[in-house]
Amino acid sequence: MPFVVTENCIRCKYTDCVEVCPVDCFHEGPNFLVIDPEECIDCTLCEPECPAKAIFPEDDVPAGQEGYIALNAELSKEWPVITTRKDPLPDAADWDGKTGKLGELKR
């Protein structure tokens, strides 16, 4: 069962999670990260590293955010792999915890 990056990552894009991934399954977009479900080995290392608490096992994605399962699969085919930590977006702290951010997602 792969892990999924959900809404709270949008406009935050903390990258603490990518450094611990042993299989490089994270992909980076302009203001969001996704996990390639075909590469994820369910190691659980990324979930506790996410300061935004935006990573969940596929079966535990919060209610109303199930669409992020397909979104991770789709965008992981389009976006490049990211393997090293970067600074979060400049206004990440302002966006952390806000809801209804899907419209803010940049592709």
User: pLDDT 10s digit of each residue in the chain, 107 long?
Assistant: 899 999 999 999 999 999 999 999 999 999 999 999 999 999 999 999 999 999 999 999 999 999 999 999 999 999 999 999 999 999 999 999 999 999 999 99
* Whether the Cβ atoms of residue 37 and residue 13 lie closer than 8 Å to each other: no
pLDDT at position 44 is 97
- Could you identify the residue written with the tokens 């393997």? 83
Alpha-carbon span 98 to 73, nearest angstrom: 23
Q: Where do the structural domains in the chain lie, given as residue ranges? A: 3-85
Place of tokens 């450094």: 19
> What is the C-alpha separation between 77 and 91, in angstroms, rounded?
27
From CA 69, how far away is CA 82, in angstroms rounded? 19
Q: Which CATH architecture has domain 3-85?
A: 2-Layer Sandwich (3.30)
